[in-house]
Amino acid sequence: MANTDVWLESLITKTPQEGRALAILMARKTIAAIQTDPEKRKQLRAAYAEDTVQLISSAQVVAIEFQTIAQANNFWK
């Protein structure tokens, strides 16, 4: 079962940029946890990638997730 797969073993990443990628993954995994049908997610994604309101909202989710990841990594200092 996909939902029980381990996909988040740690918040630690080697670089800030890998932290960005993890933030995007975390946001996507939340959406996958609510909308569990992969076919529907595919359709929905096509729609929101062309809607700036939704792109900006998505960027906000990623910014919040990244804040957590950056703190976990002590800002890669």
Can you give the binding site for a copy of itself, defined by CB under 8 A?
6-12, 15-17, 20, 24, 26-27, 29-31, 33-35, 40, 44-45, 47-68, 70-72, 75-77
Cα separation, 66 vs 27, in Å, equals 10
Q: Is-contact 12 73, C-beta < 8 A?
A: yes
CB nearer to a copy of itself: pick between 1 and 8? 8
Burial class (CB in 10 A: 0-12, 13-18, 19+), 65: buried
Beta carbon of residue 1, minimum distance to a copy of itself (angstroms, whole number): 13
Nearer to a copy of itself, 1 or 9 (CB): 9
User: Cβ of residue 32: shortest distance to a copy of itself, in angstroms?
Assistant: 10
